[in-house]
Structure 1
């Protein structure tokens, strides 16, 4: 595992914000803050490591639906934070290979691919069904020479057909066409297995905490 540089964390978080149409991150002490504004995620604070800033914030916050996120394993946090915080499933910051097999398996019959630039440096790859319904989708955001992959998803009824792999490879080809060779994302435990099969490696564990409204 690696120590996550603050500038790398900032680039990824900026890409995350652009992908989801949220305000850009702002520096907050030794980490970052994003004013997300959702009902079940009002604010997120993100830190490159467990430190006094992170622990002090965890001790001071009592309001529900504020997320704390840190590049560290869950096990290191259990005894450091108040019990009101609920651990979320382990996340994985991952970096991808500079080159990927751009061909792979052919697209399954009945599907078509759509690629478009949603806004400058934000690209969307979508795989559609014959009736133009969405089967799989993913986004690529380029931030200061870093290709950030986000919101890669396959609808349940279309899973296990290689569609997510196709989306990722198409996104990668966009990054290559823009002269970007550094690839980065945050995966769930399930997604991690898919990315590993394509040559991605874990850079750091990524842990999320939240106080939930029990009313």
Structure 2
């Protein structure tokens, strides 16, 4: 799915990761996080491909499949021995030129640019951060990430303000499409702002302890399968 690759290009910028490695069946992102050393993103939800990717998935490796049939993919990942994440996420998109621009109210918007990264913070009169978010610019795409509101300032529509400010900055930088991976809670906010649901993202973590795949080497058995070798 081309949209997955486009989203990955901006997502990895936001997370400070190296460019993903491309294989025939999946993209590989190296995160080096506890329990999440690396993550495979399937390029298709074809049943045979999902089975191949999910087989003997090692501990510390995640596999995310973007699909229109989340229940079927979840069954496949579980049957292969993967530990399913409780929450399914949603890949969403919008034309940033059509994004709402809510007023800021009593808050001040602070914008910062660092290369291909854009940051937005909403500040109180005292200078405290009430909400924040960021995005990575990947050509004509702007990938929103890490949208958060301080608990003391929730239920005031600040998430919408942050998103609107990011969308405006995306327009200024020449982007046209906004992309994001939404949590269950975030999905409802983004849908109200006009974002469309493109697909479900189902993720499982590996449980295999032995074998070449368990070594974590791309050149091992798992890498060979993904590369079609």
1:13-32 pair list within 5 angstroms:
13-32=8-27
| Preserved contact between residue 56 and residue 207 of structure 2 (Cα < 8 Å) | no
Q: How many Å separate the matches in 2 of 1:206 and 1:74? A: 7
* Unpaired stretches in structure 2, ≥5 consecutive residues: 209-229
Please say if 1:100 is aligned against 2:96: no
Partner of 1:90: 88
Distance 1:122 1:210, change over 3 A: same
1:1-215 pair list within 5 angstroms:
4-5=1-2, 8-51=3-46, 52-61=48-57, 63-72=58-67, 73-81=69-77, 82=79, 84-88=81-85, 89-97=87-95, 98-102=97-101, 104=102, 106-109=103-106, 111-118=107-114, 120-211=115-206
Shift of 1:212: 6.6
| Preserved contact between residue 65 and residue 73 of structure 2 (Cα < 8 Å) | no
| Preserved contact between residue 92 and residue 187 of structure 1 (Cα < 8 Å) | yes
Q: How many Å separate the matches in 1 of 2:141 and 2:171? A: 11
CA root-mean-square deviation: 1.9
Alignment TM-score, normalising by the size of structure 1: 0.86
Shift of 1:206: 1.2
Deviations 1:1-50 (A, max 9, x none): xxx32xx3222112111101112211022210011111121100001322
Q: How many Å separate the matches in 2 of 1:96 and 1:57? A: 30
Distance 1:25 1:100, change over 3 A: same
Shift of 1:78: 3.6
Q: How many Å separate the matches in 1 of 2:206 and 2:154? A: 32
Deviations 1:47-90 (A, max 9, x none): 132233432121122x3231100112430124323363222211
